[in-house]
Structure 1
Amino acid sequence: MLNIFNAEHEYQIREKRYSEQFNKESRQYNILSNLRVVAFLGIIFGAILFYYEYRISGSLFSICALVTFVIFIVQHEKVKNRKELAFSLARINRQAIDRINGKWVEFTDNGEEFFDQKHQYSVDLDIFGQASLFQWINNTVTFLGKKFLKNALTEPETDILKIKERQAAINELAGKLDWRQHFWVEGGSIKNGTNNPEALFEWAENENHIFRLPWLIWVIRLISLATVVSLLLPFLKDISFLYITAILLLTQLILFIIGLRFYLNSYEVIDRHKDAILAFQKLLTRIERENFESKYLSELKSSLIDSSGNYASKQINELSLIVDMMSFKHSPLIYFILNVIFLFDYNCMIELERWKKKSGCSLRTWLTVIGKFDEISSLTTIRYDNPNWCIPGLTNSKNNLYAKNMGHPLLFSNARVCNDLNIKGSGNVLLITGSNMSGKSTLLRTVGLNLVLAYTGAPVCASDFKCSIMDIYTSMRVNDNLEKKISSFYAELLRIRTIIQAASRNNSILFLLDEIFKGTNSKDRHIGAAAVIRKLSKMKTVGLVSTHDLELGELEIDKDIDVENYHFSENYLNNQIVFDYKLYSGVSKTTNAIYLMKMVGIDEL
């Protein structure tokens, strides 16, 4: 079994190998660049020989130099591609090393665009934003992959069988490191890869009936053929044939101008996604050529073959070829000549509509498959980098959670302190007391984040973890809203009302309440917090409540509810507070607020 140090070592080996390969290819690239110049000069030299009456030797020299020049161009392009591949693979492995060493907080994509204050837990659990769960695990290279990852973290799967299928898929892809890294490289080649492909989907799924009319297709083909034939007739010196050719060319020019609007509308969409289409073809090919054993991945792969046995990569490659043909638009003179002689735009539109009729409605499915592979590959990073983390067991029992040696997944391993936790069933509420900075809030986030990971199918930061399917609700970072004239206390009431309303619909809920009702006086805080805990326990929900109100510990003796007391503690050594961040049974017996005040200079106490 690998451990985290083996994973880092593997990344280091790969980073070194690809860096060396990049340097080697760079040297070859520079050599070929110089050789191209030499070959080009050889062509010129042969032309000079030819000019000075050395016809045979000059011609032979120029031809040999030209052939050599073409060979060098082809080799130069191949080396360029290998160099770029090596550079990208080295960068990916360097980033993987940074992730293991805790430098992932410097990664630029932290998903802040998904920040939603109204979400039931994402803000409180640091799902998005700086130093977030998303920033840690995100490796996605496509818009849909990123979207699916966001959905997996905020709209957890509730079907146990589907979660288990995702677990098997993640476990399988963990053994395909080379495949995953090449997948990321090919996806990363998409310029503006995070652009929404919806416009492309709409284009592919919408028909342009004009260019599907059989009679129009025949007319376009006949006019083009007639024009070409008239240009090739050997007796064009006859003035009547010249008139016919002129009329045909003028007709095509008029048709070109009339159809230009339709052409430009289509071209604008596909030109914007041109490089993406080529990358999608490579990604689909990579998926199709790989063998997958897990049900989730094999079913995704099977959806890339249509009823006629055609592979998606082949069909999207046909689109790529048509798009390449349409790129002549960037060469105005050639583009104009092609249209006046061959009605080039019309023929391209006819081919596009033929492709859309056969494959257009499948494009959304293909890109969805790519996005799903992208999402799962990103989650697989957790499995590969942390092989000692456990695959959570999912139970059909209601509102249970058992964790052994559970730690906060975003904390660096050297700073992580693990604890055991056991929520025994409906109505069980764990009341967490303890001093400031002792670890209460971190424990709540540890529980929430590991549950989120469990429902995505990913490993969790624990040596053993079993849970049932529960909706997660939190009330931890509740702020006032001056614009809506809402105080922090009232905002917290609204959040707790949301939890109670959700519990009335479905009591398969785990709630995490941090420093409950801290925005009001101690008497009201105690009465209100006790009422909330009794209410939620009687509604058969489960959860954790952290508080400084030690008197709430008396709820444990209330026989009508199921409350258990736990606490964090601290020690004092050389006038310093020392926390062990370990969870103990019972109510906290220590406080440190006055001591902390004295430490910051407030000593008039």
Structure 2
Amino acid sequence: MYNAEHEYQIRERRYFIQYTQADRKCKNLSNSRLIAFLGIVFGALFLYFEYRIFGGLSLALSFVAFVLFIIRHEKEKRRRKLALSLLNINRQAIDRINGKWVGFTDTGEEYRDPNHPYSVDLDIFGQASVFQWINNTFTFLGRKLLVSSLTHPEKSISRIRERQDAINELADKLDWKQHFFAEGSSSKNEMNNPEPLCKWAENENHIFRNTWLVWSIRAISLATVLSLILPFLIGIGFLYITGILLLTQFSLFVMGLRLYRNTHKMINLHHDTILNYQRLLSKIECEKFKSKYLSELKSGLIDSNGNYASRQIKELSFIVDMMSFKYSPLIYFLFNVTFLLDYHCMIALEKWKKKSGSSVRNWLTVIGRLEELSSLSTIRYDHPNWDTPELTISKQNLTAKNMGHPLLFSSDRVCNNLSIKRSGHVLLITGSNMSGKSTLLRTVGLNLVLAYAGAPVCASDFKCSIMDIYTSMRVNDNLEKKISSFYAELLRIKDIIQEANKGNSILFLLDEIFRGTNSKDRHIGATAVIKKLSKMGAVGLVSTHDLELSEIEMDKEIDVDNFHFSERYVDNQIIFDYKLSPGVSKTTNALYLIRMIGIDEL
């Protein structure tokens, strides 16, 4: 079996060498370009002093060399940029394997939603989160789709299985995937929301689709060009006609500025991004995929006439480049006064939009979906021993062997077995402070989230049915809404009960239920909640310090099993094994911990 870290290290060295070689060539070509430019200068000087043969030859050769050096320099700059991106990708991969991913900058903090059924409690977003761990997306849509797969998981078993096949296939395509990431991250505006671009592509500008206007612009432009060329061919002057035509085109140019101002603004904003989309679409189209999910995505890049998306984007890119002449104001002005360039470009854009505009949104979604799946596939590549979950058709089912917390470093991770095989089954988890109760609940929830996203899970064997996940773990008060933590917890549990009452398949994770009230009310309230949820057919885990609550297992009307975590004391220290065992906890450590901080009056 391969070693992911070793493979990343090999690639890191390879791309470091490629980067240094490309950087050296860039510096040499920059110097060569300067020498060629000096050759042009000296050639011009020789011509000035009437050394015509030597000066002309020097000028011509130097100019050709200067152009060639510019072309080669741009290619080497691109190679250097690509090598640097690949180098950083592999360095980041090594950090991820070594547990240093908590330093990655994109945490998805803005997606933390306290009203979401589980995302805050399960550390889906924010510092040290699932998103921070696996995110490799580089576009707005890719990031958004990854967020969606973690917060609104797929519920179709067949579709999840297709995603599993796609993720496993992408894990084996490490070279293609890294180059895909590298190409994508090279754009300056990759995280811009493409919605304005999509809407622009889908909306019609009827003015530039008007047949009368199209032919009028073509006729005026042709007449102007002929009036400029014919005097050189047949010696007849058209000075007045040429002047009138140029003045007419100048007037049209000024009038048209208002008509295509927004288009220019859109092109300026997305110019580099459009070029980047072309490269990304080309990479997808050139790759062969075996899985059904990926093949369907790729097929969405070919229209009914057999035209590939990359070719259509290339046509758009050419038109955009033509309109970008405005970065040289003089050339932009001359081309418009002489040829009405902007009018012809707007006409070409409308023709392109009519043919391909409605497909842009789908193309960008395909790119984003490949980013999302590729991000999830890093889990498979980095952890080949993790299990691909088996989805079952039973209403409520969860069986896991050697299940661990996905975000913990392997040396810190303790794995446990767990089984929920019937409707209404509740596991009541008791144990001392810091014994592992909350971690177990998050372990179950996180692995289910990954399973529904189609990703591998941290277990040697994992079977589950499709269930809606609800949690009540990190419940805080809200001063603005005048809601106490206890009442906030009641509202969370109310949501769970309402969903279960609809007949939905529910898995709940309740941590230290009703900790915000007195022990008597907590015991009575927790007993009532567990009974109600169990009778409604919901399944889940409840952690508690209330050892008396464990007596609920004796109630024959409901299905509750007791499990616990324990600890031992060695040399005046607490030793936790974090192993889940049947039965009720026999130990407590609160008083011991109180004494540890220096409070002896007990």
| TM-score bracket relative to the smaller structure | over 0.9
Structural mapping, 1:155-234, within 5 Å: 155-234=152-231
In 2, the alpha carbon distance for the partners of 1:39 and 1:526 equals 86
The match for 1:42 is 39
Mapping of residues 110-149 of structure 1, within 5 Å: 110-149=107-146
**1:238 deviation in Å?**
11
Equivalent position to 1:93, from 83, 90, 93: 90
Partner of 1:562: 559
* 1:253 and 1:340 in contact (8 A); partners too: yes
Q: Deviation of residue 49 (structure 1)? A: 2.7
* 1:46 to partner: Cα distance: 2.4
For residues 146-194 of structure 1, the C-alpha deviation after alignment (integer angstroms, 9 at most, x for no partner) is: 1110000000111000000000000101110010001011110121211
- The residue number in structure 2 matching 1:102 is 99
Q: 2:341 aligns with which of 341, 344, 347?
A: 344
2:414 match: 417
Structure 2 residue 256 is matched with structure 1 residue 254? no
Q: 1:146 to 1:235 in 2, by over 3 A?
A: closer
DSSP-derived class of the 1:565 partner: strand
Aligned twin of 1:59: 56
User: For the structure 1 residues 48 and 259, does the alpha-carbon distance in structure 2 shift closer, same or farther, using more than 3 Å as the test?
Assistant: closer
Do the aligned residues in 2 keep the contact of 1:8 with 1:97 (CA within 8 Å)? Answer: yes
How far did 1:535 drift? 0.3
Note the C-alpha offset of 1:73: 1.6
> Shift of the alpha carbon at 1:50?
2.7
Deviation at 1:367, TM superposition (A): 0.6
Equivalent position amino acid for 1:101 in 2: N
Aligned to 2:506: 509
Deviation at 1:51?
A: 2.9
Residue 592 of structure 1 aligns with which residue? 589
- 1:519 corresponding residue in structure 2: 516
**What is aligned with 1:443?**
440
Unmatched runs of 5 consecutive residues or more in structure 2: none
Distance 1:46 1:240, change over 3 A: closer
Post-superposition Cα deviations, 1:501-531, rounded to whole Å, max 9, x if no partner, equal 0001134100000000000000000000000
SS of equivalent to 2:566: strand
Amino acid of the structure 2 residue aligned with 1:264: R
SS in 2 for 1:234: helix
| Shift, 1:343, TM fit | 1.2
Letter in 1 for 2:205: N
Whether 1:12 aligns to 2:13 is no
Cα distance change on mapping 1:266 and 1:430 into 2, 3 Å: same
SS in 2 for 1:421: strand
Give the TM-score normalised by structure 1.
0.98
Does structure 1 residue 333 correspond to structure 2 residue 330? Answer: yes
TM-superposition CA deviations, 1:73-96 (whole Å, max 9, x none): 221111111111111111100000
The reply on whether 1:79 has 2:53 as its aligned counterpart is no
8 Å CA contact 2:475–2:488 kept in 1: the answer is yes
Indicate conservation of the 8 Å contact 1:249/1:340, yes or no.
yes
Q: CA separation in 2, counterparts of 1:264 and 1:239?
A: 39
- State the Cα deviation string for residues 99-143 of structure 1 (Å, max 9, x = none): 000110000001111111100000000000000000000000111
Pairing partner for 1:404 from 401, 404, 415:
401
For structure 1, which segment, 66-75 or 320-329, has the greater mean C-alpha deviation from structure 2 after superposition? 66-75
What is the CA distance between 1:239 and its match in structure 2?
A: 11
Q: Secondary structure at the match of 2:249?
A: helix
Higher mean C-alpha deviation, range 437-446 or range 76-85: 76-85
- Deviating beyond 6 angstroms after TM superposition, the runs of 4 or more aligned structure 1 residues are 235-240
SS of structure 2 residue aligned to 1:511: strand
| Alignment-derived partner of residue 578 in structure 2 | 581
Distance 1:40 1:187 in 2: 34
The residue type equivalent to 1:520 in the other structure is T
CA drift at 1:252: 1.2
Kept after mapping to 1: 8 A contact 2:231/2:238: no
Aligned to 2:276: 279
Mapped partners of 1:439, 1:286: distance in 2:
46
User: Equivalents in 1 of 2:90, 2:57: separation in Å?
Assistant: 49
> In structure 1, what residue type is equivalent to 2:163?
R
Structure 1 residue 234 displacement after superposition: 1.6
1:441-472 Cα offsets, whole Å, 9 max, x none, are: 00000000000000000000000000000000
Correspondent of 1:306 among 295, 303, 306: 303
| 2:470 matches 1:473 | yes
- Tell me the C-alpha RMSD between the 2 structures: 1.4
Give a deviation string over 1:5-43, Cα, whole Å, max 9, x none. Answer: x10000000001100111111111111111111122222
The whole-number CA distance in structure 2 between the counterparts of 1:271 and 1:88 is 25
Contact 1:46 1:61 in 2 (8 A): yes
**Secondary structure of 2:600's aligned partner:** coil
| 1:51-83, Cα deviation, whole Å (9 max, x unpaired) | 333221221122222222222222111111111
Return the alpha-carbon distance in structure 2 between the equivalents of residues 124 and 533 of structure 1. 20
Alignment match, 1:315: 312
Structure 1: unaligned runs, 5 residues or longer: none
How many pairs does the alignment contain? 602
Contact 2:531-2:558 at 8 Å conserved across structures: yes
Is structure 2 residue 306 aligned with structure 1 residue 297?
Answer: no
The amino acid that maps onto 2:449 is: V
